Every structure is written in C-alpha cells, then in structure tokens.
Structure 1
Amino acid sequence: MRRVLKLAALGAAASLALTACGEAPEDNDTGTTNNDSGAGATDDTAATDDGAAAGGAEDFQACMVSDSGGFDDQSFNQSGKEGLDAAAESLGIETTEVESQSDADYASNVQNLVSQGCNLTIGVGFLLEDAIQEAAEQNPDTNFALIDSAFSDENFEPVELDNAKPILFNTAEASFLAGYLAAGMSETGTVATFGGIQLPSVAIFMDGFADGVDKYNEDNDAEVQLLGWDKEAQDGSFSGDFENQAQGQTLTDQFIAQGADVIMPVAGPVGLGAAAAASDEDGVKIVWVDSDGYLTASEYSDIMLTSVMKQIGPAVEDTIAQTYEGGFTNEPYVGTLENDGVGLAPYHDFEDAVAEKTAVGPDGEEMPLNEVIDAYEEQIISGELTIETPNAPQ
C-alpha cells in the first residue's frame, strides 16, 4: 500500500526510543451515529456539484472515520468529532461516525460509510490517506476530506482529486512559540519533545518547537538543551504508536532523568502517559498539542503550561457547511497563526509565572516573556519571520 511505503520512507531511519507494542483499544461497536436514522441517505442523495441534496438537511449526511486512537483521545480525533457534532447542531444534518480499532479497519470503515450514502466522508489523520484517496477515486460523485494529510501517487508526488479536500495545519508556527516559552520557563535548562509515529503531521510540531528553543538561546545568550528531536537530521524519539500510554510514561521518565522539566508529547493519548509521569515530579510541566490540554486532559491541568492547538473542529464544521451549501472545493485548507487555524492556548494557572519571567525580545530589549512571545507571533503573522520546516503543508 502507498501509505505503508510512505511511512517506511519517512520513518525507517528514525531512532525509536521504544518499540511499538501498543495495547489494542477496548472493544466497542465499530460505528456510532448521533441520530436514529444512522443508515443515512441513499445513493440518490449523494453529494453533487450542486451541493446539498434536494431533500434538505435531513437528506444530507456527513460522516467521519477516526484513526485507531478513537474519538475520546482528548486530542485530534476528539476535535474532529466536535466539528462534526457542531455541524449537526447548526445545520440540522444527519451525521455518522465510525471508530477504527486498528489500521486494518480504515478501508472497510470508509467503504461502509460510502455505501450508506454519505455526502461527505472525512478521515481523521494521515494514516487514513490511502483509504480516503482510494474511495475518492472510486466514487467521483461523492465528496471526501482528510485531516492532516494531502494526497499523493505511488511515487509520493502530490496529486489533486476533484472530490477530496485536504485539511492541513502549519503547527510549526505555534510550536515555535511553545518552544520559546518552554526554554524561557525551564529551570533546569533542559526541555524535551517526542512523537507517536514519525509522520509529517507529527514532526512539524517538533520542528517548530526546536526552532523556538534555538531562537530563545540566540536571543538570550542561553544554552537550553532540547532532548528528543534533531531537526536537521529529522531524527528523534518516538513511542511507536498513538495508543500505549505506558510508552509515553517511560519516555518521559527518561527525559526527566536527564533533567528535562518542560516536555511536549506529540502522540495523542500517549501524551496522557507523559502527563502522568510529569505529575509525579515537582516542577515538571507539559505542553499539550492539538487541543487545549488544560480543558481536555483536565486531570493534569495543574502541570499544563500551554497547548499548541489546531482548530480542527471549526475547520471540519466549515468544510461540512460549505459542502452542504454547494460550495465544496478541493482547495486545501491550511490553518496558520494568521487565520487562527493554529495557536497557543492560554497559560491558565501559569499566566502569572510566565509574565514574571523576562527575556530579550525581537527588538533586543528585555521584556516579560509573554510579551516576547506575543511579539514573535506578530512577526510570524506579518511574514517578517517564517518558520521553515520540511514537513510544512504543501
């Protein structure tokens, strides 16, 4: 399969800190629907060039397939479902979601939704690229969308499909701010990051984080060390999956043993293992990703420094609304700081602590750390500062 080959090309050289031996999620029903008419529309009401089916909202069905992390991952699958639910409420449409238990479920889950007559089927995550692309190619009169990945041919060259929309996020921009923050807040002079699987949508977070740490060191004549990722080599620490929290806990324990006191896991539910390890050590803080971890992983709110957020929910809701209203386009959506598609969450319990720290800002003047971060955010939005990454959305 194309995705398997791509994963091999992207990740074979990565040094995995732990082998991938994740436990399977608990068994549950393959699919769920948030209404009584889960079978959805018939083939006669499939999406057309004219947008919503003639029968109205009750005949329009938006569908979603999770990756194996499930919709309660407190991260990007959950955010995707929130967008689906919001569209159901605002538009009055039918929605169906199917939760994958493993990679082997992706193709069958997507095909199942297509057979139910879904007007728009959304895959959550890079790992569903093959399933969504193949379904789109085989069903040109139905619309699709894919979160966190574009589409490619067997040689990994980009391709455009008239009926399939990539929903992408340049998280390197917000991660740069998080890396600068982490370096400025570290008391030990050591911070860390790790990923679940080495995918572009994971490594892009780590690239931005590394650049933020480097910029803090440059501005402040500091030597904060980053563990877990070498941006130049595109090599670092990965848990091997997005499910096994024990692996995240073990990796984080290793980073803490090396002196890290701010850690950013980019690994979905595996990040909960990292948070558990951090909560056992005084002074260790977590930077969450995808959603605001202070809210979605509230059991660890007291150690959540901030989160690098992808506004997946609003992007999903907008894509569904555009399709329902007849405005579907295959033009990729790319979330940035400028369009509020990505951003830093509030500092919450650490707001005062961040304001009390000082750092040298872009103009060479010392100021509160939160103001320095705001200044760099403005530079990125204006284009004065560009965060380069080989994993940027295309």
Structure 2
Amino acid sequence: MIITTRKRALGGLALLGASALVLAGCAAAPEEAPEETEALDFLPCIVSDAGGWDDKSFNEAAYEGIEEAAAELGVEFVAVESADENAYEPNVQQLVDQDCDLIVTVGFLLAEATTNAAAANPDINFAIIDEFIDAPNVKPIQFNTVEAAFLAGYVAASYSETGVVGTFGGIPIPPVTIFMDGFVQGVDYYNETKGTAVQALGWDLAGQTGAFTGGFAPGTEALTTAQGLIDQNADVLLPVGGPIYFSAAEAIRDSGRSIALMGVDKDIFVSDPDIADLVLTSVLKNIATAVYDVVTGAATGGFDSSPYVGTLDNGGVGVAEFHDFESAVDPELAGEVEALIAGIIDGSIEVTSPASPGQ
C-alpha cells in the first residue's frame, strides 16, 4: 500500500504588476503588499484497484484526473494504491480516517467497500468509477463503452488480413464485458456491410462467455490467453483489463508475426511508448476528465449524486488515432468510422450491451 500526496500551488497569491506605479511629478507610490487569497479547505482522495497507478490504463487515468484537479485548486490530495482485493476496505477506511472531503474509488471491484463507507460516513462524499451506487453521497462515474468498442471491432475487421481477430478480458465483470460486447458487434457489423466473414474469437456475445485471465495483472495467464488467440490465426488483439495488455504485447513480439494490438481506457500508443509500434488504436474512456470534473465540482460546492455517463455524444468515450498504422489501414476507414459515430449518436445504428449503464 502506497500513500502519496502532491501539491501544486497555482493560485496562492494575487500579485500586482512588476512595475511600480509612478505618479507624474511625485515620488514613486508605496508598493502594496501582495494580497493573499484564502486557501481552499478541501482534501480530495483516491484509491486504486489492484491494477495500481502505473497500469498505463484505467487507474493511471483516474490518478491523472485528480492530480490535475488538485493542481488547479491548489490543494493536496491523497492517493492510496491497493496491492490486492483484500486491501480495498482498509484503504477506503484509511482515507475516511484522514478526513478526506471526497473519496474517489477506482473500479467496480471497490463497490462493496464504497457502499459500506458511504453509509457509515454520510458527511463524506464519494465517487466510484464503473459502478452505480444509489446513495446521496455517492456519484457514479460510468461509461457506455460498448459504443466505442463497436468502432474498434469494425476497425479490427477492416484491418485484419487473416480474417480472424480476438479479444480477452481480465475478470468477467460488466466494465470488462462491455468492451467485448461492442468489439464483437463491430466485427459483425463490418461483415454485414462488407459481405465478409471475419471471425471474432474470445467472446460469445449471445452466451456472454469468453476468455479471461482471472485477474488484471500481466503474467502467465494473460500471456497464454493471448498466445491461444494468436495460435488460432488472430492478427488483431483487444485485451481488456488494464496491464494484461503487457502480456499480449509480449506474445505478439514472441510470435514474430504482423499482429496489431488495441488498447483500452487510454491511448496506449501515447502512455506506453515501448509498445507503440504495435498499437492500431485504443478504445478510450475519458476517465481523467470525468474525475477532474467531479473533484473540482465537489471542491466548489457542486457535488451531486446524479450519475455521469460518458458516451460518444458527450465525448466521454471514443477511439484513438491510428498513429503509425495510418498508412496501413484502408484509406476510407477513417471516414467510415466517422459515419459510424454519427449513426450511433442519432440511433440509426443500434449498439447494446447488458453491461451498459442503466441496464
């Protein structure tokens, strides 16, 4: 368990101009003392899930959001990293004990700890990412990621040369399976519109079953799962579960084949330069901006418990650029993706998941 605090004083002092005011025919006017602004009495806090702050994905994005908010507000923040699931309850309680004004819990797996702490501490506000909790002091931060993952599935099918693409997850929970639902639907839509027969391995949309590693850590299970998809001739992989993509990248390099990797949550082309050459695109959840908005709103008296739901329409979800793959994809693909976005927003293209917020 790691606790960090950081502070960036951005406002602090309101200073006069550098030049002294000189009155014509008179001596220089006395300089006025700098006027201090009252420090904001607000302590935002955050706790990760077991993926940790350096997952280059979900947790890291949430950390960046609170870090930016604290910088803007000129306050400290407290961040606690969870080593495993057994740390969730005590870590949340530790933040309660530190008199945090807002506690952001990162992920579905912290739902029980968040629910219990919020009920026991009605004077403390909470926000939870990727879960809905109905309480007056808890703000759900959710994302209808199925919409963006649909685009990724379409892109994967378009790019594939083998006619086989694959996805796998960490744990079969709604924030994971929602990506897989969208990915398979995107492949299916590509096949319907193009008359092709690209296979999507790793997820049975109808049965809601598929390939999972059992956790969100890279390692043998993730490597073996990725290798299994590669052995079935998949040439695009979408691993869903934070740092499990590290193992997918390792499997791709070990194969010696031309296989593209897709990221989730953040644009991993940017967040992880070591594997940037493998990244076709990423399915984006604008977690950092959502956390920033919730923290700054709570600090200025704007906290409310109504859910935030990120969609394509409000910019809460999306897909990243093709980056180094720009010249390798179909020249028409970018325009087709834009048309898909418009269709999903206006409802002419239906994209659904049992894991969507409100379902």
TM-score by length of 2: 0.89
Instruction: Provide the residue aligned with 2:103 in structure 1.
Output: 121
- After superposition, where does 1:160-179 map in structure 2 within 5 Å? 160-179=134-153
Q: Does 1:138 align with 2:120?
A: yes
Instruction: Provide the residue aligned with 1:375 in structure 2.
Output: 339
Q: Does the 8 Å contact 1:379/1:385 carry over to 2?
A: yes
Q: Does the 8 Å contact 1:194/1:206 carry over to 2?
A: yes
Q: What per-residue deviation string (whole Å, max 9, x for no partner) do you get for residues 34-54 of structure 1?
A: 249xxxxxxxxxxxxxxxxxx
SS class of match (1:132) = helix
The aligned amino acid for 1:233 is G
For residues 293 and 248 of structure 1, the distance between their equivalents in structure 2, rounded to whole angstroms, comes to 17
Q: Does the 8 Å contact 1:185/1:354 carry over to 2?
A: yes
For residues 239 and 261 of structure 1, the distance between their equivalents in structure 2, rounded to whole angstroms, comes to 20
Q: 1:64 aligns with which of 33, 43, 46?
A: 46
The aligned amino acid for 2:355 is N
Q: Does 1:33 align with 2:5?
A: yes
Q: Does 1:250 align with 2:224?
A: yes
Q: Does the 8 Å contact 2:40/2:73 carry over to 1?
A: no
Q: Does the 8 Å contact 1:74/1:297 carry over to 2?
A: yes
Q: What per-residue deviation string (whole Å, max 9, x for no partner) do you get for residues 61-120 of structure 1?
A: 000000011000011000000001100111112200000011111111111111111000
SS class of match (1:282) = coil
For residues 278 and 297 of structure 1, the distance between their equivalents in structure 2, rounded to whole angstroms, comes to 16
Instruction: Provide the residue aligned with 2:18 in structure 1.
Output: none
TM-score by length of 1: 0.82
SS class of match (1:109) = helix
For residues 345 and 374 of structure 1, the distance between their equivalents in structure 2, rounded to whole angstroms, comes to 12
Instruction: Provide the residue aligned with 1:389 in structure 2.
Output: 353
The aligned amino acid for 1:319 is V
SS class of match (1:114) = helix
The alpha carbon displacement at 1:161 in A equals 0.4
Q: What per-residue deviation string (whole Å, max 9, x for no partner) do you get for residues 334-388 of structure 1?
A: 00001100000010001122243xxxxxxxxxxx122111110111122222311
Identity of aligned residues (%): 47
The aligned amino acid for 1:295 is V
Structure 1 unmatched runs, 5+:
1-28, 37-54, 152-159, 357-367
The aligned amino acid for 2:341 is E
The alpha carbon displacement at 1:58 in A equals 4.1
Q: Does the 8 Å contact 1:245/1:271 carry over to 2?
A: no
For residues 268 and 164 of structure 1, the distance between their equivalents in structure 2, rounded to whole angstroms, comes to 24
Instruction: Provide the residue aligned with 1:312 in structure 2.
Output: 287
- After superposition, where does 1:318-333 map in structure 2 within 5 Å? 318-333=293-308
For residues 240 and 49 of structure 2, the distance between their equivalents in structure 1, rounded to whole angstroms, comes to 15
Q: What per-residue deviation string (whole Å, max 9, x for no partner) do you get for residues 149-168 of structure 1?
A: 112xxxxxxxx200000000
Instruction: Provide the residue aligned with 2:22 in structure 1.
Output: none
Q: Does 1:150 align with 2:132?
A: yes
The aligned amino acid for 1:210 is V
The alpha carbon displacement at 1:56 in A equals 5.5
For residues 57 and 346 of structure 1, the distance between their equivalents in structure 2, rounded to whole angstroms, comes to 41
- After superposition, where does 1:57-136 map in structure 2 within 5 Å? 57-136=39-118
Q: Does the 8 Å contact 1:59/1:94 carry over to 2?
A: no
Paired residue total? 329
For residues 259 and 338 of structure 1, the distance between their equivalents in structure 2, rounded to whole angstroms, comes to 35
Inter-CA distance 136–56: structure 2 relative to 1 (3 Å threshold)? farther
For residues 325 and 248 of structure 1, the distance between their equivalents in structure 2, rounded to whole angstroms, comes to 43
The alpha carbon displacement at 1:244 in A equals 3.1
